[in-house]
């Protein structure tokens, strides 16, 4: 089974900061990686698919990159609405353990 | 608007069984690979398993912790996904989400239900 490892598990940041979350796969998953945002008490929401494609309606401050086994999610100019937990997922399967973005 | 609505959750004793349902609307259910994802209280997302569309064989795959105990099925005539859970353990306590994978998005889950809660306790 493919394992997904996210880092950091918690990230403290301020509004306006640029933050980066890393996701590493235990074996190559080509570009079949997705990123989700989850807020407390809500279902996750898809942000990025195929590693770097932004889902329609998602703000352009979110971006994804990477291939093979190393991937990143970057949020440029963090907004108040972005404080949440973020998960990576490989090819409709295993999730990373999550990264909570909290207020510094 | 695409929508998934889960039902069937509740309190069950260890060793018991429960069947969850997920009713789909607003998209072509029969074309979708459907999955179940769970989230234990205060924990992260855990993929439970998925079932392919019939045209891709209709087979199901499962995560190791539930393999042999859980069964995913679908009824395309009713636009409904099921999760049969047997031999339930305390560790199965979680909010269970039904999700639709979109092949055009690399099988990313673009539609999620609101979840149904399962509690396994004596």
Rounded-to-10 torsion of CA B81, B86, B90, B91: -60
Residue A87 to residue B47, Cβ atoms within 8 A: no
Residue A53 to residue B105, Cβ atoms within 8 A: yes
Q: What is the C-alpha separation between B34 and A55, in angstroms, rounded?
A: 19
pLDDT single digits (tens) B8-19: 999 999 999 999
Interchain contact B105–A (C-beta under 8 A): yes
Q: What is the C-alpha separation between A84 and B77, in angstroms, rounded?
A: 38
Interchain contact A83–B (C-beta under 8 A): no
Residues of A in contact with B66 (CB under 8 A): none
pLDDT of residue A31: 87
Of A46, A91, A95, the CB nearest to B110: A46
Confidence label for B74 from pLDDT (cuts 50, 70 and 90): very high
Q: What is the C-alpha separation between A73 and A86, in angstroms, rounded?
A: 9
- Would you say residue B105 has pLDDT above 90? no
Q: In a mutagenesis test of the B interface, which of A71, A92, A100 is the best target, namely the one with the most B β-carbons within 10 Å?
A: A92
Residue pairs spanning A and B at CB distance below 8 A: 71
Of A30, A80, A84, nearest in space to A52 by CA: A30
- Would you say residue B104 has pLDDT above 90? no
- Find, in chain A, the residue whose alpha carbon is nearest to that of B97: A43
Residues of A in contact with B102 (CB under 8 A): 49
pLDDT of residue A37: 98
CB-based contacts of B6: which residues, under 8 Å, 6+ apart?
B20, B21, B22, B96, B97, B98, B113, B114, B115, B116
Residue B44 to residue A92, Cβ atoms within 8 A: no
What is the DSSP track for A31-48? T-EEEEEE-TTS--EEEE
The distance of Cα B13 from the centroid of its chain, to the nearest Å, equals 20
Residue B44 to residue A98, Cβ atoms within 8 A: yes
pLDDT single digits (tens) A65-86: 999 999 999 999 999 999 999 9
Of A43, A53, A52, nearest in space to A84 by CA: A43
Of B75, B81, B88, B26, nearest in space to B49 by CA: B81
Determine what percent of chain A is predicted with pLDDT higher than 70: 100
């Amino acid at each position: 089974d493919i394992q997904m490892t996210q880092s950091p598990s918690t990230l403290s940041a301020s509004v306006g900061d640029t933050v980066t979350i890393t996701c590493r796969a235990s074996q190559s998953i080509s570009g079949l990686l997705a990123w989700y945002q989850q807020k407390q008490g809500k279902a996750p929401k898809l942000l990025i698919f195929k590693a770097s494609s932004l889902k329609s309606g998602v703000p352009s401050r979110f971006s994804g990159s990477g291939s093979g086994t190393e991937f990143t999610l970057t949020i440029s100019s963090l907004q108040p609405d972005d404080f949440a937990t973020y998960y990576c997922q490989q090819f409709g399967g295993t999730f990373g353990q999550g990264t909570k973005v909290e207020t510094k | 608007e695409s929508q998934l609505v889960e039902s069937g959750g509740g309190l069950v004793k260890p060793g018991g069984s429960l069947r969850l349902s997920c009713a789909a609307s607003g998209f072509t259910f029969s074309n979708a690979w459907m999955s179940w994802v769970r989230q234990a209280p205060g924990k992260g997302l855990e993929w439970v398993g998925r079932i392919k569309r019939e045209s891709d064989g209709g087979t199901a795959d499962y995560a190791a912790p539930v393999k042999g105990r859980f069964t995913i099925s679908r009824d395309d005539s009713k636009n409904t996904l099921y999760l049969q859970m047997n031999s339930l353990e305390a560790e199965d306590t979680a909010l269970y989400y039904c999700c639709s994978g979109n092949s055009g998005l690399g099988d990313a889950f673009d539609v999620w239900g609101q979840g149904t809660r399962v509690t396994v306790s004596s």
